[in-house]
Amino acid sequence: MKRTTLITGAAGGIGFALARAFSALGDNVVLADLDATAAERAAENIAGPTLAAKVDVCDPESVAALFVAAAKEFGRVDVVCANAGVSNMKRAVDLTVDDWDFNFNVNAKGVFLTNQAAVRHFLAEDIAGVIVNTASLAAKVGAPLLAHYSASKFAVLGWTQALAREHAKDGIRVNAVCPGFVKTGMQEREILWEADLLGVTPAAVMKSYIDQTPLGRIETPEDVAGVVTFLASDGAGFMTGQGVNVTGGAYMG
């Protein structure tokens, strides 16, 4: 049976690169995003079978409905990429409860709800499914001006490890990918925020990102997608509970 991959946050950035990469492998691809119109536009730019769907990853009913729609369209879901994420940037002493909740609701709770729905689907359909969560370099090293974001991404790694241990016996593999300084719309916003907070130019912020990356360039969404497709493949069949660095050497632990 043809494999189906479901991706949240799929309308742009890393999520769209994932959708294109999995489609190129021959998968049916479900592009899920809070912005349904953007998801539909993204799906129009993929040649293979797709389903564009709206999802609020913070709402368990919305996430459950997404899996029902995906199964109705393609029969089953085999791979789930919990990729939806948000950020904002402030000094730790200036963070508000709303800032904290915004990051944790999407980055941590959204991964929890998406993974939980995925495991329920895999168990109900007797599928040895694969989950790949999008964590971050900030899940390995606390990031100044992004303390709340870092905390939410550290939570993703802890959850990934625990879920992997719990469901290894069911043949379900759960891993996370930890990208570094990736050229996305999120990064563009963060560069402006960081420049403003530090009183430097956006060009100086960009240079600092490159200087922190031994491979000497800004990461692309496609760099991440190549690792995620590997983690979902039989070649990674003995990998579970891992937080795989894709940072160009910015972190080597």
Active-site residues, by number, are: 149
Phi/psi at 118 (5° precision): -65, -50
Q: Which of 33, 82, 87 lies closest to 56 in space, CA to CA?
A: 33
Q: DSSP label at 33? A: E
Q: Rounded CA gap, 178 and 246, in Å?
A: 6
SS3 53: strand
Q: Is 245 exposed, middle or buried (0-12, 13-18, 19+ CB in 10 A)?
A: buried
Q: Is 141 exposed, middle or buried (0-12, 13-18, 19+ CB in 10 A)?
A: middle
Cβ–Cβ < 8 Å for 178, 150: no
Alpha-helical regions (H) of 30-179: 36-44, 60-74, 97-103, 110-125, 147-167
Q: Is 3 exposed, middle or buried (0-12, 13-18, 19+ CB in 10 A)?
A: middle
